[in-house]
Amino acid sequence: QSVLTQPPSASGTPGQRVTISCSGSSSNIGSNTVNWYQQLPGTAPKLLIYSNNQRPSGVPDRFSGSKSGTSASLAISGLQSEDEADYYCAAWDDSLNGRWVFGGGTKLTVL
Amino acid sequence: QVQLQESGPGLVKPSQTLSLTCTVSGGSISSGGYYWSWIRQHPGKGLEWIGYIYYSGSTYYNPSLKSRVTISVDTSKNQFSLKLSSVTAADTAVYYCARGISSSWYKVLDYWGQGTLVTVSS
């Protein structure tokens, strides 16, 4: 059971805008920044968004992040077939002397 | 660009110790400001953070695994290592190493290795 809660699946058609939510608590999202990762089949997670809404160099601006209170969201606009992947949120959790916690992942299907 | 590469046995017997090494290239493990983590992913499941180490040798482990985990660093080889003792089938997973940043404003695991599958089986 993951500490951060994500919907197990999401879907959209090419060109559409989809959002993926991530819910946490005061000890993680509520007090620390949120990161998002994209994991294509058989590959390692790739950093997509850090510090709630910052994109690393090379990540298209179709990807955006936001945070409010103890929840965060990842938005993907202009959906493309290559966006089909698993998406994970992550945050540092201040409980138990501190640890990284992750969401259970959301499988995005491009219809 | 920083690259990380895991290496180690892909098969470990139950009750034995899992040992993996992560080799860092494109940057020095001794440069300050970064910490070096291990994360695992059970087959078809989500991600679980195992622990991290600073170049100085200071470590921090996930409380749920702390009693079985040791992470060490070899700055001369630009490597850090994971040992997980008394493994069971529940430790079968893809193990990733990653670089972490902890600043005043944010924390992030930014660069990850490609991962290595470790199977625990007799």
| Rounded mean pLDDT, A29-43 | 96
Helix (H, G, I), strand (E, B) or coil at B16: coil
**Per-residue pLDDT for B23 more than 90?**
yes
Mark yes or no for CB contact A98/B60 under 8 Å: yes
pLDDT digits (tens, 9 = 90+) for B63-79: 999 999 999 999 999 99
The span from the CA of B14 to the CA of B79, in Å, is 26
Mark yes or no for CB contact A47/B60 under 8 Å: no
Of B48, B49, B113, the CB nearest to A44: B113
**Per-residue pLDDT for A29 more than 90?**
yes
pLDDT band of B19, cuts 50, 70, 90: very high
Kindly list the residues from chain A whose CB atom is less than 8 angstroms away from the CB atom of residue B39.
100
Residues forming a β-bridge with A63:
A76
The span from the CA of A33 to the CA of A52, in Å, is 5
Task: Establish if B35 touches chain A: CB-CB under 8 angstroms.
Answer: no
Pairs across A and B, CB distance < 8 A: 60
pLDDT digits (tens, 9 = 90+) for A45-99: 999 999 999 999 999 999 999 999 999 999 999 999 999 999 999 999 998 888 9
The span from the CA of A34 to the CA of B100, in Å, is 14
**Per-residue pLDDT for A28 more than 90?**
yes
**Distance in Å, alpha carbon of B12 to nearest chain A alpha carbon:** 21
Task: Establish if B71 touches chain A: CB-CB under 8 angstroms.
Answer: no
DSSP secondary structure string, A11-41? Answer: EE-TT--EEEEEE--TTTTTTS-EEEEEE-T
pLDDT at A1: 83
Percent of chain A as helix, strand, coil, to the nearest 5: 5, 50, 45
pLDDT at B83: 98
Q: Sign (positive/negative) of CA torsion A92, A95, A98, A100?
A: negative
